[in-house]
Amino acid sequence: MSTSEVVEPLRFNPTESVQPVQSTPTLYSEDIQVGDSWTTEPRQITSEDVSEFASLTGDHTPLHGQDGAASPYGKPIAHGLLGLSILAGLGTNHPKASTLAFVAIEEWQFLAPVFFGDTVQARNEIIKIDPHGRRAVKVRWLRQLINEEGRVVQQGHFITLVGSKSRMTAKPR
């Protein structure tokens, strides 16, 4: 995938009220396969999000200031890690996998800035599944953060362990 790729524009109006999208039913290792993909509901990045993230992390870099004076774009830019964090949160229910562990983030790319007021969605696609013990699989996900123009602004791979139905529904001994 090229760094300048534009995917099909998302079909939503960021000025409209958006109803929460129902999460998927819990998916176990037996329920997933390579090529499965999901797209989350849209979420707007607000100045409050950026301010709270700066307070939480201590990253008060002027680039992320309210006035945008330090930004080469003439408007404020959200923290890249805020976008990554929002992507991770959006993806927890799309799909709602029986995740046992978050193993790694690999090959993460920050392809374009996320601005205050941007509306983003996450796209999650399974690109590889490997056995991991008797009752779990290791899943490699392509995760993309996409803005309202359909541009991929961040992307990379998350690796997680997903449990089998027998493991996750077994009664404790």
Per-residue model confidence as pLDDT tens digits over 13-51 = 444 444 445 667 889 999 999 999 999 999 999 999 999
CA distance 6 to 115: 17
State which CATH number among 3.30.70.20, 2.120.10.90, 3.20.20.70, 3.10.129.10 fits the domain covering 29-168. 3.10.129.10
- pTM above the 0.85 mark? no
**Tens-digit pLDDT profile for residues 79-113:** 999 999 999 999 888 888 889 999 999 999 999 99
Q: What residue segments make up the domains of the chain, in order of their start?
A: 29-168
CA distance 10 to 103: 30
Q: Which of 37, 29, 30 is closest to 127 using CA atoms?
A: 37
% of residues, the chain, pLDDT over 70:
83
